[in-house]
Amino acid sequence: MISAALAVLETNEQRNELSEFYERNQNRLFAIASEHLHNQQDSEDAIQEAFLRIADKPDKFFSLSRTEQSFYVSAIVRNVSVDMFNKKNKHQPNDISEDIVYNSETDLLENSLLEKISHDEILDFINNLPALQRNVLILTCLSELSISETAEILKISKSAVNQRLYLARKSIRAFIEERNNE
């Protein structure tokens, strides 16, 4: 599936490493793409596009540790999938915001609170959260990693993950409620 991306790479070592990475992670990456696209062909296209982006700037990927590579590629696949979904379906920007906020077991807010806030406002707010809170939020809510997996990747305790996730959600809730009251 990633043959076009492999062809772009300059060395056999890079091709082998990227190919091995894909083999180890293809099911997880397909699940990430399918979560947004709900279609096998579109999901495969999203993964192909993600790997083409990686191959276009290989230094970034190859400079990362295995764990960081996994997070990096997951984020790219997710972003490509969301972009494809939005282009194909021309949904309102709120749809992505709701995915971000509701992609956990506990609903953060009522749907009505999100109606007045744009996708870009939510993403800007999340991007401006303290890095530790933002990383925990992305790993647990968007990448759907468990608390244990997130703790292992970030090299922090499970209780620290829970605390940072709580603070991130609390901040998002306050932001949305504040914007709703304006």
Question: DSSP for 3-64?
Answer: HHHHHH-S-HHHHHHHHHHHHHHHHHHHHHHHHHH--HHHHHHHHHHHHHHHHHSHHHHHTS
- For the chain, domains (ranges, CATH) are 1-91 (1.10.1740), 93-182 (1.10.10.10)
Rg (CA), the chain: 17
State mean pLDDT over 22-43: 88
How far, in whole angstroms, is CA 82 from its chain's centroid? 9
Distance CA 132, CA 164 (A): 7
pLDDT over threshold 60, residue 20: yes
Query: 54-87 pLDDT, tens per residue?
Result: 988 888 899 988 888 988 899 899 989 888 888 8
CA angle, residues 105, 147, 138, in degrees to nearest 5: 70
Look up residue 182 and give its two tokens: 């304006």
**pTM for the structure as a whole:** 0.50
- As a whole number of angstroms, the longest Cα–Cα distance in the chain is 57
Query: 93-131 pLDDT, tens per residue?
Result: 333 344 444 443 334 444 445 555 676 777 788 888 888
